[in-house]
Amino acid sequence: MALKPIDNALLLPPETIKLGVYEENKTAESLPPSADPIIDYILSENLEPISDPESKIHGLVEELDSKDWTKVCESLNDVRRFALYHSLLLLPILEKVILVAVKAMKNPRSALCKTSIMASSDIFKVFGDQLLDSTINAFDNLLLQLLLKASQDKRFVCEEADRALNAMVKSMTPLPLLNKLRPYVSHSNPKVRAKAAITISKSVSKMGLEGMNEFGLVSLVQMAADLLNDRLPEAREAARNIVTSIYEAYTRNEEQKQESWQNFCQSSLPPIHAQSMVKITSSP
């Protein structure tokens, strides 16, 4: 039996029949490509000196304050070049540069945020403890932003912030750095507490008993005891590392290491905390 034609069949537009594609696909293909520029993340070892640094330094702060975020990225890379090759020229405006870097870290554009974090790493490597001489809390603002960025979910920003915090620990004297980090182990954000604890554990591992005593050995042990009960496992693991570093420094010249450590913990902490400390160091 012959089939009757269906009068109300869906008719495709002629151009669709001709091209063999749906009209919406054709429209999508005709849209202009994204205009967002691609930012290159340059490793420190690939940065080169500035050809005329004495002239360039005069306009650096103004360039960092540009409304064009790509220009700010370029200027932040110039900051890195100044830090690595012309640090004496950068030093007089370093606080202003750090505040601009902190502002860039708060920007929702991840590329700008990451570039500013990379700049902070190079600044740490070159200037180290000189950053603690700030008179306008530039370092405090920078430290907080790095802890916040290291705690966020954007992986490539988080990892860059971790690298900056590591550069900070390697380049700065542990004692003054611990004093700066101490408040953040009580931060309301558990991820910030964990990052602060990890950074503290790395700083403590660089200290001897003399430095620990100068900070306050009992205060350091109590801080570790509190972190052992933190919500996040990263903070608890950092606390165990802190305890191990303190134990090794405290008992270095002791013959009865575990006994000496137990007596110290019992005299410095509530019984339940002292027991936890002794258990960490007695584990194989």
Over residues 50-57, the mean pLDDT reads 96
Higher pLDDT, 30 or 263: 263
Token couple for 241? 């590392």
Lowest mean pLDDT among 135-139, 219-223, 249-253: 135-139
The pLDDT of residue 20 is: 41
The pLDDT of residue 29 is: 44
Sign of the CA dihedral with 191 first, then 196, 198, and 201 last: negative
The pLDDT of residue 21 is: 40
The pLDDT of residue 37 is: 75
DSSP state of 205: T
Phi, psi (deg, nearest 5) at residue 36:
-65, 130
Contact criterion met (CB below 8 Å) for 98 and 123: yes
Higher pLDDT, 7 or 89: 89
Q: How confident is the model at residue 38 (pLDDT cuts 50, 70, 90)?
A: confident
Q: Is the pLDDT of residue 139 over 70?
A: yes
Higher pLDDT, 76 or 12: 76
Rounded to whole angstroms, the Cα distance separating 93 from 61 reads 8
State the DSSP string of 37-87: PPPP---GGG----SSHHHHGGGHHHHHT-S-HHHHHHHHHHHHHHHHH-H
Rounded to whole angstroms, the Cα distance separating 80 from 122 reads 6
pTM of the model: 0.85
The pLDDT of residue 6 is: 44
At which residue do the structure tokens 């004692």 appear?
175
